[in-house]
Amino acid sequence: MSTPDIKDFEAALVELEGIVRKLEEGDLTLESSLGLYERGIALSRYCHARLEDVERRIELLNERGELRPAPANLTGGDDPERKGGR
């Protein structure tokens, strides 16, 4: 989703909070309420996308500055010695 006029996650969240406050105050025309609501939904979608667009990943940065997937014993889920207990 491209929302060109959103700076970053934090800015989007702050703007969203402002919109919600304004909507809750409620002294707006229905038209401007709807405009704000649409903007709010776009911001919220952007934020959610940003929250979820990173896949859980564990990498090792080696001496040559290369990123390599971490060995299985670090990635947890499929670590045999950690299975069945905490």
The reply to whether 49 sits near other proteins by the rule CB under 8 A is no
Nearest CA among 80, 61, 63 for reference residue 72: 80
The reply to whether 51 sits near other proteins by the rule CB under 8 A is yes
Nearest CA among 80, 75, 72, 73 for reference residue 58: 75
User: Which residue in 1, 4, 5, 56 binds other proteins (CB under 8 A)?
Assistant: 56
CA angle (45 as vertex; 43, 47 as ends), nearest 5: 70
The reply to whether 61 sits near other proteins by the rule CB under 8 A is yes
19 CB neighbour count, 10 Å cutoff: 19
Minimum separation from the CB atom of position 14 to other proteins (A): 9
Q: Which residues bind other proteins (CB under 8 A)?
A: 9-10, 13, 16-17, 19-20, 23-24, 26, 28, 30, 33-34, 37, 40-41, 44, 47-48, 50-52, 54-61, 65, 67, 70, 74-77
